[in-house]
Amino acid sequence: MSILRIRTIGDPVLRTPAQEVPQFDESLRTLVRDMVETMYAVGGVGLAAPQVGVGLQIFTWGIEGDEGHVVNPRLSVGHEPQDGGEGCLSVPGLSYETPRMDSATLTGVDMHGRPVHRDATGLLARCFQHETDHLRGTLYVDRLEGEHRRDAMRQLRGEAFRATAERIARERDEQRGVAPRPAGDAPRATGAAASSFVRSPDDAAGPGSAFGRASGPGASRTRRGASSSGGAPRAQHGAEQTRRPGGAR
């Protein structure tokens, strides 16, 4: 299995709706296994295929011993809102309170074409919404409101975010055993260009991005817009993952 490169905000693949998987073959199964490996290696609790540069409808999750994946998913959500913070491996170093619904039902198939059906609440429901958004070209920062949204816009335009993104990219490249990308390769948003980084809610393709843990490359001690009230793991927040459940089969 391989650790794949995580794409970060500013990469067009993150803003392009993913396509349905047309063929279930060994290349698909290899991709799913590599995504699971990558998710744990970089300290994530969820990962969508566009985040590794693949525009297909696939995501994985691994939360408190509950590990899974889904291909060509469909998601329906409940009506009760839940509070909680989120972060994203593709938006490194930031985390914010993000509005989600408290329950969700996920359907689809696995990498062998077998049916997947999961009813989820709380953190798992939040993860499903977050990852489904990735498949629609939507990032969690698109769903921010009020001061959190304004702060995200400021942070994404700033040199501190750029420096953090570059540092994390270098750490991840070193972990993968490849030559680090040149300095200055991280995305930049200045002035009006920031509008391509954070969309208005009306522009979002639909209702769900990958969470990050404190462990592994990509973790930052800086948190923005974070509350101290529990909720979903944020980027750079949550218990360190000490061992991995069984991998995708």
The end-to-end CA distance of the chain, in Å, is 12
Q: Is the pLDDT score of 118 beyond 90?
A: yes
Taking the C-alpha atoms of residue 219 and residue 2, their distance in angstroms, rounded to an integer, is 20
pLDDT digits over 141-180, tens only? 999 999 999 999 999 999 999 999 999 999 998 888 876 6
Residue 69 sits in which domain range? 12-203
Sequence ranges of the binding site: 88, 130, 134
Where do we find the tokens 């639909």? 206
* Residue 99 falls inside a structural domain: yes
Sequence ranges of the binding site for Fe cation: 88, 130, 134
Q: Is the pLDDT score of 200 beyond 70?
A: no
| 3-state class (DSSP) for residue 70 | strand
Q: Mean pLDDT of all residues in the chain?
A: 81
Q: Is the whole model's pTM more than 0.85, yes or no? A: no
* Residue 230 falls inside a structural domain: no
Name the phi and psi angles at 72, rounded to 5: 50, 55
Name the catalytic one among 131, 166, 171, 240. Answer: 131
Identify the CATH number of the domain in which residue 142 sits: 3.90.45.10
* Residue 2 falls inside a structural domain: no
88 Cβ partners below 8 Å, 6+ apart?
94, 130, 139, 140, 141, 209, 210, 211, 212, 235
Respond yes or no: is residue 147 known to be catalytic: no
Q: Is the pLDDT score of 69 beyond 80?
A: yes
Average of per-residue pLDDT across 17-26: 98
Query: What type of residue is 70?
Result: V
Average of per-residue pLDDT across 113-121: 98
Q: Which DSSP letter does residue 66 get?
A: E
Least confident of 17-26, 50-59, 204-213, 224-233: 224-233
* Residue 26 falls inside a structural domain: yes
Q: How many domains does the chain have?
A: 1
* Residue 149 falls inside a structural domain: yes
Strand partners, 63: 66
